[in-house]
Structure formats: C-alpha cells, structure tokens
Amino acid sequence: MRRVGFLLGTLILVALASIYAAVRLIPAPNALPPSAFDAAMHDYILHHPEVVLESVGRMQAQQKAQASAEGAQQAAVIANRAQLLGDPTSQVAGNPNGDVALVLFFDYRCPYCKQGVGEEKALLTMDPGVRVIYKEFPILGPASVTASRAALASVKQGKYLPFHDAMMAFHGDFTDAEIFAMAHGVGIDVERLKSDMGSDDITAILRANFVLAQALGINGTPAYVIGDRLLGGVTSAAEFEQFAQDARAAQAAMARP
C-alpha cells in the first residue's frame, strides 16, 4: 500500500507540474506569495479535475511505452546472447572465466568511451568475477575504422590489451602516424601490423559487430550489455556492480529446480 501511495503521489506531482507549465491563468510562482499561489492552484484543480486525470493518463502511457521498449531490448539481448558472449574473435579483459560479462561496444575516437574507461577498470577491481568483452564498433569515420583494424590486427602479436589501453588513453588526432606510433610504443611490429590490418577476417569481425549492434538497436557509443540489460552512455562502476549482482541473482533463479 505504501508503494501504491508513493506512486500515486508521484503521478499527481508530475500532473501538477504539467498543469503549471500549461496553464497561463495562474501567475508564475515568484509573482505570488506561496499561500496565494497554493490557493490559486487549488482552485484551478477543483474547477478542472479533468486536467489532472489527463496528465496522469499521459504519464502512464509514457511509462507503458518505455516498459515496452525496454522489453524489446531485453528480448533482443536474449536472442543474441550467443554472439554477445561466445564469439571467440572478441577480446576479453578482467576474469576470462568470470560469471558475469560486461559487453562493450566502443569507438576509439569517442570521448564518452574514454570517460568510461576508469569506471570499467574500477568495476574489475571491485568485482573479480566480471569479464569485459570488447566489441569494436568504429562509427566515427575512417580514422576510427583504421584504429579498430589496427587493434584487431595486434591480436596476432598478443598485444591487443596494451594497444587498446594506449589508444583509449590518447586524446589527440587519430592520424595513421599516431596510431602506428602508439603501436610501436607497446612493442608491436608495425610493418607486420600494417600487413595484417587488411585481413578479410578483420573485415568479417567488424561486419559482424555492426550487424549485432543493429539487432540490439545500438546506434551510439559507448553501449554496454550486462545480464539482460542494454545500457547507453557512461555508467558508473557502482551501477555496473549492481547490475552484475542482478545478473547473478537472475542466473541463480534460473538454475533452481
């Protein structure tokens, strides 16, 4: 009952805010003393109760639409779980045998992706049971594609993670020269890297990542999948940890006879 009362109260408050924004018959709050404004609002609601009902109905419709969209996203995540979690071409950080995966779609030139690096690393320190699965998703132009192809080519030299970290930490212009300088800086044979970057296998990986992102409705970076949740934008380590615990609880519930 308390929760129902709280939700009803929230709906009414939102409705009142909507009424205030829409009604021009009541002066702005700072034009009236609080008591006079409250009285004016009270009188208006008494004479126009349908406005409250309309506002509450509109909010409920919005909530229903949001729940429907979230349900569709969750269904897409579940339908594509094998590709999200089991693609052997995806590179992994953290605990490779972790019981919870954080799947990251990112672009090396995305400033928000770079902001999220600290939170991702904090999560791995906070929760040793998490693995991060990287999905190269270069959507910000040719330089992004070059960076992703170079990163994927570095796998053959066993240098993906240090090269990935170097490019995520870089805040300058992603020219070819800068990309190859970063590769050299982490011990990569640059000439071999350049040769490997043209591989059809890399083209196939990038194409598969774009198809997967489209299936999930992802059109920006960073985007994360953890458990059955799809998250967009920079997310805190504390939020990631809560979602990881939620995922474990869901897995435990499914495992019960």
What residue ranges do the domains of the chain occupy? 2-71, 81-255
CATH of segment(s) 81-255: 3.40.30.10
Q: What is the pLDDT of residue 54?
A: 72
Q: Are 60 and 11 in contact (CB under 8 A)?
A: yes
Q: Are 68 and 223 in contact (CB under 8 A)?
A: no
Mean pLDDT on 222-231? 95
Q: What is the pTM of this model?
A: 0.74
Beta strand 130-136 pairing with 91-94: antiparallel
Q: What is the pLDDT of residue 3?
A: 42
What are the pLDDT digits (tens) for 80-105? 999 999 999 999 999 999 999 999 99
Structure tokens that stand for 2 in this block: 């308390």
Mean pLDDT on 227-249? 95
